[in-house]
Amino acid sequence: MLRWVIFLIVFVVVDVYAFQAFRNVVKNNWIQILYWAISVLVIGNFIFHYYGFNRSDGFSHAHAYAFGFLIALLVPKMVLLLGMFAEDIFRVPQAIFRYFTEGSAAKGNYFASRRQFISKIALGLAAIPLASIIYGIYKGKYNYKVLKYTLHFEDLPAAFDGYKLTQISDIHSGSFDNIEKVKYAVDLINQQESDVILFTGDIVNNKADELVPYKNVFNKLKAKDGLYSVLGNHDYGDYVNWESKEAKLQNLEHLKSIQKDIGFNLLLNESKYLEKDGEKIALVGVENWGAGGFKKAGNLKLAASKIKKDDFKILMSHDPSHWDQQVVSDDYHYHLTLSGHTHGMQFGIEIPGWFKWSPVKWRYKHWAGIYEELGQYINVNRGFGYLAFPGRVGIWPEITVIELKKGKVTV
């Protein structure tokens, strides 16, 4: 109860302060009433869906949109608050100074014209995140991008020169609300005509049943050398309050069965050779291994126990912290690791080839795109789906296509 009281106090303070900027620019009383009506509706809807909420009871589309609308309302108002507060840093000391130097002769609003100017600037700046978040909720979450990379390896078997793989990650099927958009994305994946499709975990939010409506969508995925997958932290059902251990285990078995029906070969701490023209590369899949409290079911040594140290190796591991903490320093040289998990936080600023930023960088050293250490590469996929916040802003859903080339990079 206390946290809700604190939340409401903070929200009201932000709202009242932001309203000062709104009122300075918008004089119409009815529009001002609309401002408060929207605020009351959004915060009321959020409290209705989240008061007494327990994550283990499930996260519905209504929960997602209640959270999304709150973010759409709160972030622009925070921008207004910051703008007005920054102006007060200059205005309030001047007002105090005039009071003590002029006394009762000091009349009127201090810097009133500048206050209105600052209000207009603040409203203009606040409109940017408002428009971005609304776009992210209604369009951005299905704004699929195909990102293509070419990686060179001197020890790549010659038969695999030009070999293409498509990576997808973090489908989170329970979050989808538009099956036609998902069908479009599956068609987009198939259009890449890669040799193999690799999925790096989190196919559901919590329960296997979430995947059932999309089984006949994802089973359209095709690749000459097949489809392979690993489990992510959400796939185990750890975030659900199951009635028994047996029910939880049955859910996981159901998930494995659906993946098999789709056509995925699920690698559970095991390996598989991909062969071409008498040569081969090792595909290694570990179960989820994550730092910071996430499940550590992955066993790299077990997964690689049936391959050779000098094999060319592609590792599928859901959480990029596994690469940081175990893979790079392992005796086996893992040429390419494929991960996901971070979603790029579904929020950030990115100019391809020039600049990328997201708050998630403060949690994960490797959070989106290609990284290289000690001659080993990792690609952290930004995710196919979305979770909690029902949208994406600046960090779009990703389909990765990686072409393997033999030899050194030539300039």
**pLDDT tens by residue, 102-141:** 665 555 555 555 677 888 888 899 999 999 999 999 999 9
Q: What is the pLDDT of residue 408?
A: 86
pLDDT of residue 249: 97
**Do 88 and 228 lie in a common domain?**
no
Using the 3D structure, point to which of 98, 120, 138 is the last residue of a domain: 138
Cβ proximity of 376 and 151 under 8 Å: no
Rounded Cα distance, 149 and 129, in Å: 31
Last residue of some domain: 138, 159, 176?
Answer: 138
15 and 103 co-located in one domain: yes
Does residue 411 lie within any of the structural domains?
no
The range of the structural domain enclosing residue 271 comes to 144-406
Report the alpha-carbon distance of residue 130 to residue 122 in Å, rounded: 12
Give the pLDDT score at 7: 83
The answer to whether residues 342 and 251 belong to one domain is: yes
With respect to residue 101, please indicate whether it lies within any of the assigned structural domains: yes
Q: Are residues 128 and 175 in the same domain?
A: no
Residue 217 near residue 186 (C-beta atoms within 8 A): yes
Is residue 61 domain-resident?
Answer: yes
Q: What is the CATH number of the domain that holds 262?
A: 3.60.21.10
Q: Same structural domain for residues 173 and 265?
A: yes
10 Å CB burial of residue 2 (0-12, 13-18, 19+) is exposed
Q: Establish if 332 belongs to a structural domain.
A: yes
Residue ranges of the chain with pLDDT lower than 50? none
Q: Are 288 and 321 spatial neighbours (Cβ–Cβ below 8 Å)? A: no
pLDDT of residue 284: 98
3-state secondary structure of 395: coil
In this structure, are 124 and 235 located in the same domain?
no
CA 356 vs CA 84, 148, 353, 386, 396: distances in Å? 29, 16, 8, 19, 12
Which pLDDT value is given to residue 200?
98
Report yes or no: 217 and 187 within 8 Å, Cβ to Cβ.
no
Q: Is residue 263 part of a domain?
A: yes
Q: How far is CA 143 from CA 62, 130, 351, 386, in A?
A: 22, 18, 15, 12
Mean pLDDT, the chain, rounded, equals 92
Regarding whether 297 and 152 lie in a shared domain, the answer is yes
Task: Examine the domain organization and report whether 152 and 66 are in the same domain.
Answer: no
Nearest 5°: the CA angle 159, 163, 167 is: 145
Residues 229 and 363 in one domain: yes
Report pLDDT for 54.
Answer: 78
Tokens of 229: 């997958």
Q: Are residues 68 and 158 located together in one domain of the fold?
A: no
**What distance in Å separates the CA atoms of residue 235 and residue 385, rounded to the nearest whole number?**
14
Rg (CA), the chain: 26
Q: Are residues 203 and 304 in the same domain?
A: yes
**Per-residue pLDDT tens for 326-370?**
999 999 999 999 999 999 999 999 988 889 999 999 999 999 999
Q: What is the pLDDT of residue 114?
A: 61
The verdict on 272 and 286 lying in the same domain is yes
Domain assignment present for residue 202? The answer is yes
Q: Per the structure, how many domains does the chain have?
A: 2
- Please say which residue of 90, 118, 138 terminates a domain: 138
Full-prediction pTM beyond 0.95? no
Pairing assessment for the beta strands 376-380 and 369-373 based on DSSP bridges: antiparallel
